[in-house]
Amino acid sequence: MIQWFKDGKSLPKRYVWEILLGAHEQFVQEESLVTLNLEEGMTCDVIGDVHGQFYDLLHLYSLTGEPTHKHCLLMNGDLVDRGSWSVEVILTALAFKWLYPKFMYINRGNHETKEMNRTYGFEGEAKHKHGEQTYKLFAYLFTAMPLATLVCATQPPSGKTNNTILSPEGRKRYFVVHGGLFSKDGVTLDDVQKIERFGRQPGQEGLMCELLWTDPQELPGRGPSKRGVGIAFGPDVTQRWCEANGVTGVIRSHEVRQDGYAIEHNGLCTTVFSAPNYVDQAGNKGAFIRIDASGSQKYTQFDAKPHPPMKPMAYASGGLASLLM
């Protein structure tokens, strides 16, 4: 299938539907907050936004390796929109989910939503390549995607743990979510797990919206969002939330970082972004984060790869829109 895509061909519609229904069957068995325990010898690669950059995704997968019983992939939302191979990106990821449901994980991003897809290209691309009914099936599937993943080390931490926040069992664990934290204190992991997500769009407020839309800020406290949706949360907010929930750190995506990743909020909040040279003009590197069974992290950067002559947003309704989203 991947070679078929590289050759510029479209998958027959019946196979697209089989992949979508097969992946949906796996998503509906998962909680809104997935718990992923890294047993001894296992690793998990956390991948940020890829935004329809299929040829960069192939390069990325060559660096991470495919999912296996010793190696998980966790894609942290925004697989589609902007890049003009969003269908190929999402079908590849969903095929892995169908094949390896316990080793391939996908969080929903703010672009796995109808409103974003209408504006930033995925709706037009999906309809162009596979018809309106297929787009509706994609939109239906997006509402089944989990909203966050708790990646839990099962081995004791390696090295010093001074000031490191650990789980009640004394292990490291990371809250992986597309956007970030909340407009109020007191939200628990249990609250996230209980969110009713099926059939729902994130809307303009509430926990689901904030999980998908918020951003960190340098100043303490909370502030307005530059996006007009969600809020911005400061390092003190992150500290309190991690301490209250026994979380070693928040890993999120949602924003370009020139180095592909950035460690923020005194090490408690890390942004990872995996679309290098975003929309063919940002000049940034991509990155992914590898977590092992002791909770140690390793960061890998990579550069953009050439792609066929198709501009970003080729299927979008309103031309190239703001890069902030």
Sign of CA dihedral 204, 209, 210, 214: negative
Please name which of 319, 175, 303, 323 lies closest in space to residue 255, comparing C-alpha atoms. Answer: 323
Concatenating the DSSP letter of every residue in 235-288 gives: HHHHHHHHHHHT-SEEEE-SS--TTSEEEEGGGTEEEEB--TTGGGTS-PPEEE
Helix or strand (DSSP H, E) at 150: strand 148-153
- Measured CA to CA, the distance from residue 115 to residue 288 in angstroms comes to 27
User: The tokens of 234 are what?
Assistant: 């400061």
* 46 touches 288 (CB < 8 A): yes
Please name which of 208, 270, 273, 209 lies closest in space to residue 242, comparing C-alpha atoms. Answer: 270
Q: Radius of gyration of the chain from Cα atoms? A: 18
- Measured CA to CA, the distance from residue 301 to residue 70 in angstroms comes to 22
In which residue are the tokens 């309809």 written? 127
β-partners of residue 261 are 272
* Count of CA atoms in the C-beta half-sphere (13 A) of 65: 11
Please name which of 77, 74, 33 lies closest in space to residue 188, comparing C-alpha atoms. Answer: 33
Task: Catalogue the active-site residues.
Answer: 111
- Measured CA to CA, the distance from residue 59 to residue 6 in angstroms comes to 12
- Measured CA to CA, the distance from residue 136 to residue 182 in angstroms comes to 30
* 312 touches 80 (CB < 8 A): no
